[in-house]
A and B are shown apart, each in its own frame.
Chain A
Amino acid sequence: MSVFIDNSTRLVIQGITGRDGSFHAKAMIAYGTKVVAGVTPGKGGQTFEGTVPIFNTVADAVAQAGANTSVIYVPAKFAADAVFEAADAGVKLIVCITEGVPVLDMTRVFPYVKERGARLIGPNCPGLITPGQCKVGIIPGQICTPGPVGLVSRSGTLTYEVVYQLTRAKIGQTTCVGIGGDPIIGTNFIDCLAAFESDPATKAVVMMGEIGGTDEQQAAEFVQKHMKKPVVGFIAGQTAPPGRRMGHAGAIISGSAGTAAEKMAAFAAAGIAVMKRPADVVGLVRERL
């Protein structure tokens, strides 16, 4: 069992012939993901690596190849339209890897996707992986292993660090979801926590947050009210100065709001075990399994 993606995922890659798209298409195919189609306007009718059919539009990929999930690797200025296109084509899970999508574009994308009943993950995210079954995005497959831990994170390489520590300690994962570091994202912590809570295979959840916004505080409230499964949490940015954007567009302390201290306090108050450093994940998760 898992959340969002599994053996039944049929993936279309938007931007499959681009530099990043083609590199990661190969990695996803090698991992065992069912990549059923690619989309590059103007290259419809060709194939990728001799096996994956390429279409001009996502609608064609859905109609002719039965795609039910899309992953987006197009440049930032085309990313919003790529999400609109996937949603219009009836794709129910859309994963946008692209970094640098203007936030005003996201104010239009967010309601559009919601109204069409689709789920967007990202943008500016590493995607997700259900170890042993399917990976959608860029998370390195070799650092993950199947097991009972659900993981949700706002960052990329920090996620890898924590997953890797778990895997080395022989603690596997149901699904790892990178939700992205932008101010407006399609899927937030609560969406993932709810999914893990109802996934029978997930026995514990790791939540990796960071400074900026109030998503973690709301997630803590959700954990307290609605979750029976144990949750372990981390907040990056304890040493970040206020008013500066720490790489991620959303990682900024505005005035005195959105600090690591405030989020860690919210975690602790909600009964979430707080990691002081990434390496604490192994001990805290093990105690709760």
Chain B
Amino acid sequence: MNLHEYQARELLRKAGIPVPPGDVASTPAEVREIAEKLGGKVVVKAQVHAGGRGKAGGVKLAATAQEAESVAKKILGMQIKGLTVHKVLVAPAADIASEAYVGVIVDRATHSATFMVSPAGGIDIEEVAAKTPEKIFRQRVDSRYGLLAHQALALAFKLYPDVIKARQAAEILQKLYLAFLNAGASLAEINPLVVTPAGQVLALDAKIVVDDNELERRPDIAAMRDETAEDPAEVQARNANLTYIKLEGNVGCIVNGAGLAMATMDLVKYYGGEPANFLDIGGSSNPQKVVDALKIITSDPNVKAILFNIFGGITRCDDVANGIVTATKQFTVKVPIVIRLTGTNEEKALEILKGVGMPALTDMDEAVKQAVAAVKGGKAA
């Protein structure tokens, strides 16, 4: 789960990291109020889960509170990469002497949390990593001891040769590690970490990505989820315990298991079609999940055929068949459906589908070919 910048800043502030003032607003009038309170020049930043906000026109400077209100009118409601901006962060326009990057991620190769810092902050760190990897410094964290003081200081010296600034940055790094742990994050970064002309080290922008598997035991973090900032179909799917990712194609895919779901999408492409989505109905699928999945897929106007690919292990094929029958009784599916079922209770499932006049296949390649042909020909082959 992605947190908004304003939420990430709040978590850092709670962890004792110096963060400039500022507040979140959802109307231009609120923006004006906050800007008046802050005084002076402000920056108004769109709060959306998409990179490249600045380039898209979602980050604007304003010299006065009145100007802040008028730029907010433009930013609120605008679309950035298909997502509508509902909230903006209003903060003082910082007077910056230097910009650095600090972040901590879970590194799969070393099985541990790893810090990355770079004096070349402010921009896309992946670009820095690709073009000038020598400007990135790493420190692996032993989960038993956390980020040790000397490790933090050694990293900080890579950013600031001056010991007074380095000590401030080292303290921020150790606090960032605690914020990362307490949020159940898979990534926590400050970009940029800045030095003010007065010599104070501050976290100007923050990003935190929370491990979805942590949400159950961290209700305070789970409550930060902003469903208005997500794709409505994906929200609907998550609430139905399905994993759904919308793509650009027209063959709707309903599959059990993530690996098979990806392989099914790939096979659609292999046979000349384009998958409309990734959708995993998961392990022990009850019929209701299948109904929910069909609702989500049919709400995508691009979908011209629906392909079921079920390999019954824990998932029982008859459950899926019952779900398909229930769904088609509840609402009309206007596009052709191609069904492939094999494994646990396959015979029962084929019987159920035969009862309502729906043919079903047992071979994956054959099913995918038919679904692709159905899109091209307008009906199932």
Contact = CB atoms under 8 A, between A and B. Distances in A.
B217 interface: yes
A40 to B, nearest CB: 20
A111 B211 contact: no
Identify whether the interface residues of B are mostly helix, strand, loop, or mixed. Answer: mixed
Contacts of B269: 238-239
Contact of B111 (A143, A184, A260): A184
Interface in A168-187: 181, 183-184
A166 B342 CA distance: 15
A279 interface: yes
B305 to A, nearest CB: 16
B342 to A, nearest CB: 7
Contact of B313 (A108, A156, A250): A156
B367 to A, nearest CB: 12
A246 B262 CA distance: 8
A251 B213 contact: no
Pick from B144, B211, B266 the residue with the most CB of A within 10 Å: B266
B61 to A, nearest CB: 28
Interface string A244-257: 11111111001100
Interface stretch (B158-166, B252-260, B294-302): B252-260
B109 A143 contact: no
Pick from B181, B213, B313 the residue with the most CB of A within 10 Å: B213
Identify whether the interface residues of A are mostly helix, strand, loop, or mixed. Answer: loop
Contact of B266 (A215, A248, A277): A277
A161 to B, nearest CB: 5
Contacts of B262: 158, 210-211, 236-237, 239-240, 246-247, 251
A249 B243 CA distance: 11
A104 B113 contact: yes
B243 A103 contact: no
Given A102-B184, A240-B262, A155 B106 contact: no
B224 interface: no
Nearest to A165: B364
22 contacts: A100-B216, A102-B213, A106-B111, A107-B113, A108-B143, A111-B111, A111-B143, A138-B313, A140-B343, A157-B313, A158-B260, A158-B263, A183-B106, A208-B259, A239-B275, A240-B278, A246-B258, A247-B243, A247-B262, A254-B126, A255-B130, A260-B266
Interface of B: 106, 108-109, 111-113, 126, 130, 142-144, 181, 184, 186, 211-214, 216-217, 243, 245, 247, 255-263, 265-270, 275, 278, 280, 283-284, 311-315, 342-344, 364-365
Return the 3 tightest CB-CB contacts between A and B, nearest first: A155-B259, A247-B258, A157-B257
Given A184-B111, A240-B262, 5 more contacts: A143-B343, A154-B259, A157-B255, A239-B266, A247-B262
